Amino acid sequence: MTKDALKVADHYLLSSHDLGREDIEKVFRKLMRHDIDYADLYFQYSRAEGWSLEEGIVKSGSFDIEEGVGVRAASGEKTAFAYSDDIAANALADAARATRAIAAAGERRRVAVAPCKTRPRLYRADDPLASLDDTAKVRLLERLEKIARAADPRVTQVMAHLGGSWEVVLVARNDGHMAADVRPLVRVSLSVIMEADGRREQGSAGGGGRYDYAYFTEERLRDYALAAVHQASVNLDAIPAPAGTMTVVLGPGWPGILLHEAIGHGLEGDFNRKGSSTFSGRIGQQVAARGVTVVDDGSLPERRGSLTIDDEGTPGGRTALIEDGILVGYMQDMMNARLMNMAPTGNGRRESYAHLPLPRMTNTFMLNGGHDPAEIIKSVEKGLYAVNFGGGQVDITSGKFVFSTAEAYLIENGKITRPVKGATLIGNGPDVLTRVSLIGNDMALDPGVGTCGKDGQSVPVGVGQPTLKIDALTVGGTA
């Protein structure tokens, strides 16, 4: 059943704490007695749980409830911020007093807070934690383990995790704008270890999004389990990866994490305002090969990175970043947009009420090209086909990256041949964009497992891309 987000937010964040809109207006009147460009309040209530199963036994379980409010005021490039885990009138007043010290006394301004227009919801407001009882949650994990062990007798260990959260947020701004969101989020992940001939390898898989636990049907659980077993099985048969400069083909979907890390962060507003990104001041310039079009879209229904509103109350939307190789935009929160004389794009995100918002990605992906994936593979005489990635490191300022592959194969004479282990991709994100020579027509988004870190804050995100052919990329190997 769809619920009105403002009514839910009022219940959990205001009326249950004996607060009303008049209390919010009182805070703003205190703040705006000073020479402040912008101020907002961010209320949050969340509950989250996690279940982990290993060797058929529930190894851990957690349940957390968190609530609080953050008060922010900005003047020029300066920001004052205070927060409290006590949602009460006196706590709001204390936070406001701490925050307004940013500026000298100025003209008193009248502020009236009113709700914004209702926007179409991108996901249901129901609490996923209540969608299954505890026994059923454990059985779900047991089912994952059973499928994985039945798939291959070489499976010696299975570790499965189920997590869910339900979050209610309310944003009030000094311009009178008030907006709310109710955000469900679920995720399943599993890792398997396989052994054969004295060798041990691991495979992993999972997925989720802004659903309840009913999303994890028998078919989906089977897909996750079989994908993890397949990956481990491939790595058991893998030979050492070659090293050198070669053609690399990236598979669709999750390999878009390379795009996210090596390129996406460099397109966030704060790095470009400060001039620390390689993309700073390059709007309108050719930054990628023709055919490369990259967007950030927080308005995709039920995706892990999607937001009906961002954490500053701006509606989530689709932001064009690169069009046919030309840089056309950045991802902006309100502060950096104001300082750069640009419009906010719905990318102001924060981990919780105790954190300041930053310009962050939502679902970032490259759009389709016109080539069949089989045609792309056939065009490579000798190279590497990277299907899945493990960890990686990126220098956001320069765009330099190192990514390790979790599943990769050799391409020989236009055919995918032997699996390889230990391959790492080494390069520079902006440079890689110029080396894209063929773009597939099979764009896919990741299954819903991404989490992005920035300045110590973690938020859920999505990535995606079609099959890509990259000419002359450095591969570090073990051969």
List the Cα angle 136/8/39 in 5-degree steps. Answer: 125
Tokens of 42: 């961010």
**Cα distance from N-terminal residue to C-terminal residue, the chain:** 56
In 10 A of CB 52, how many CB atoms? Answer: 17
- Give residue 56's identity as a one-letter amino acid code: G
Cβ neighbours of residue 343 under 8 Å, at least 6 residues apart?
332, 337
pLDDT (tens digit per residue) in 246-291: 999 999 999 999 999 889 999 999 999 999 998 999 999 999 999 9
The residue among 37, 5, 478, 464 whose CA lies nearest residue 251 is 464
As a whole number of angstroms, the distance between CA 436 and CA 472 comes to 10
In 10 A of CB 118, how many CB atoms? Answer: 11
As a whole number of angstroms, the distance between CA 136 and CA 141 comes to 9
- Per-residue pLDDT of the chain (479 residues), as tens digits, is 346 899 999 999 999 999 999 999 999 988 887 778 889 999 999 999 999 999 889 888 999 999 999 999 998 898 999 999 999 999 888 888 887 665 544 444 445 555 555 568 899 999 999 999 999 999 999 999 999 999 999 999 999 999 999 999 999 999 999 999 999 999 999 999 999 999 999 999 999 999 999 999 999 999 999 999 999 999 999 999 999 999 999 999 999 999 998 899 999 999 999 999 989 999 999 999 999 999 999 999 999 999 999 999 999 999 999 999 999 999 999 999 999 999 999 999 999 999 999 999 999 999 999 999 999 999 999 999 999 998 778 887 788 999 999 999 999 999 999 999 999 999 999 999 999 999 999 999 999 999 999 999 999 999 999 999 999 999 998 76
As a whole number of angstroms, the distance between CA 385 and CA 469 comes to 9
In 10 A of CB 338, how many CB atoms? Answer: 16
SS3 state at 337: helix
